[in-house]
Structure 1
Amino acid sequence: MTNFGEQVDESPFAARGFLLSAMFLGVIALVGLLVITISFIGGDDEDEEASAPVAPTASPTDEDSPADGESSVCGLTEVELAGGLDEPPGGAEWELVGTIAAPEVEGHGPGRIDDDGYRSCFARTPLGAVLAAANWSAMGSDPELAEMFMEQALAEGPGREAALENAGSSAAQDDDGASIQIAAFRVVSYDGEEAAVQIVYTSSYGLDMVFPFDLRWEDGDWKYVVADDGEPVNPPYPVESLSSFVRWQGA
């Protein structure tokens, strides 16, 4: 009989750093079940995987300019209220934050890196949304920065309160030493007010996992949106092919 507890512990995606990096508190069991499922069905879910097209690129007009009070909290001037991202951004610089490499692109973010390492302020662009999700992931591999994320980067609403409450009662598992890094991304939708971004993480175990991030432009920066119960709006899923994603990694 399969020992489900051992399966979860052995999975690199059940390691403390990765779960915190993705901010999916309380989904240890879900990730474990996904890993077990793909091992049993041999990847049959690949055809069912969402193959959402990247939104077409569009340039903002004067009428699309953001309203007063919605400007970048740190003064970033790049703004796009429609569009997508179908190739790796140029000029990215990567820095190890915790155990995960985090990207930075001039003009798109992070516009602020505090002395304690907390990274914030991302441009109101598709690239800014991708950078926000990627940097949140990296910060989550550092427990102190992950805690700061929970306090500062969750979108307002009942989900934020539930997530903060769950964070205090969730027991994270110890890191098992697996190497986990960003491997690719996909912009599913973007309209300047909200964005849906998917980040693919790869591990030294050879398993790729997609974690969807729902973002909202709020108080001059991108914020992470969770469901009313504090869980992610869309659950993670395993993937065998990165053909529909933009490959992008710094480690």
Structure 2
Amino acid sequence: MGLFSRDSDSGDDSTGSDGSSLWTERGFVASVIVVGAVFVCLLVWFFARGNTAPASQPSTPANSTAPIEQPTNEPTDPPATPPSEEPTGPSATPTARPTPGVGGCKSAPRNMQTPRTTPTAVTWEFEADMLIPTQQEGGPAVMDSDGVRSCFAHSPTGAVLAALVTLGQIRNPDLTMAVLRQRFISNAGLQLALAEGKATPPTQGPTQTSSQFTAFKVIDYVPQRAIIQVAVRIDDVKVAAIPVTMVWSKGDWRGLLQSDGSFNGATEPDLLQSLTGYVRFGGA
């Protein structure tokens, strides 16, 4: 099973026949075996399957298909630039880089409110070509020798950060298997994902796109589980979102795969027409 569920009634596998992306098959289906584009390319395929938005979504003006963003949540920081263009270090925000080993799961959270505005004091850092957020209070506070990040605050904001960092890191082909082993709850879905990952070596070369996180929405939060709707901007006009479940286990937030080995199971991804109800959050 892939990290995103497949339409089981579909017999058309043409969209994923080249094996270049975990995000290119119908219904945002993707196998962890194609680690070169775990998160981004599935969204690209989703938009390519049709030109009409879901019936439940409001129609957009004729002169624009871009989601209507909430002006109060617009980031004020300049966009980040790739590491190769930035010799003096990461720069998605002017805030200080979080100190490793401090904060996150190592400290009692100070804010237990569900985030309704953009989290502050966040530094965005490149993971391959995708920006991921770090925060002194929320985490991640630990990075192991492989580069896998962990140790997030036991709070709603910590769960949001954990969801985005985990998704960003699993997209990195050098980290996919390590992230699956270390950052997910052991269940039947994880075993399927790991089995497929072991069956085929990672694809090589750069990913085809460089989409970025743009917003989130906390769908549900209880102390031991959080469901975060994560929105990714594909280009200037396209944004899609999927639900990601995080579980508090062994002192940290960890991802939970569905029984089919995907994040979303039977839940269809959303092609967004508006960011109303979402918190604007991105480094680019």
* TM-score of the aligned structures, taking structure 1 as reference length: 0.73
1:56-115 CA-partner distances (Å, limit 9, x unpaired): xxxxxxxxxxxxxxxx995232177x6421111110011111111111111210010234
1:136 — aligned with what?
A: 166
Report what 2:253 is aligned to.
222
**For each residue in 1:134-178, what CA deviation from the matched residue of structure 2 results, as whole angstroms up to 9, or x when unmatched?**
111221232121221111111122222122113334687775532
Distance in 2 (CA, whole Å) between partners of 1:205 and 1:12 is: 22
Q: Does 1:246 align with 2:264?
A: no
Query: CA 1:145–1:11 in 2, change beyond 3 Å: closer, same or farther?
Result: closer
- Specify which of 125, 128, 132 is matched with residue 98 of structure 1: 128
- Alpha-carbon distance between aligned partners in 1 of 2:262 and 2:16, rounded to the nearest angstrom: 22
User: CA–CA distance in 2 between the matches of 1:152 and 1:7?
Assistant: 27
Match of 1:192 in 2: 223
Structure 1 residues 29-48: aligned runs within 5 Å: 32=45, 34-39=46-51, 41-42=52-53, 44-47=55-58
Q: Give the secondary structure class of the aligned counterpart of 2:242.
A: strand
- CA RMSD, Structure 1 to Structure 2 (Å): 3.5
Task: Give the secondary-structure state (helix, strand or coil) at the position aligned to 1:162.
Answer: helix
Which residue of structure 2 aligns with residue 20 of structure 1? 38
Higher helix share: 1
C-alpha distance 18-137 of structure 1, shift in aligned 2 (>3 A): farther
The DSSP-based 3-state class of the residue aligned with 2:186 is: coil
Contact 1:74–1:121 at 8 Å: present in 2 too?
yes
The residue number in structure 1 matching 2:108 is 77
1:88 aligns with 2:118: yes
Give structure 1 stretches of 5+ with no counterpart.
49-71
Alpha-carbon shift at residue 47 of structure 1 (Å): 4.4
Q: How many residues align?
A: 218
Instruction: Report the Cα distance in structure 1 between the residues aligned to 2:201 and 2:50, rounded to whole angstroms.
Output: 25
Letter in 1 for 2:153: A
Q: Distance in 2 between matches of 1:168 and 1:12?
A: 15
Contact kept, 8 Å, 1:150 with 1:164, in 2: the verdict is: yes
Distance 1:189 1:195 in 2: 6
Q: Tell me the equivalent position of 2:209.
A: 178
Distance 2:236 2:165 in 1: 23
Query: Is 1:126 paired with 2:156?
Result: yes
Q: Give the % identical residues.
A: 25
d(CA) in 2 for partners of 1:231, 1:163: 8
Q: Is the 8 A contact 2:130 2:212 kept in 1?
A: yes
Q: Which ranges in structure 2 are unaligned for 5 or more consecutive residues?
A: 1-11, 25-29, 60-102
Q: Name the structure 2 match of 1:107.
A: 137
Q: Structure 2 length normalisation: TM-score?
A: 0.65
The more displaced of 168-177 and 225-234 is: 168-177
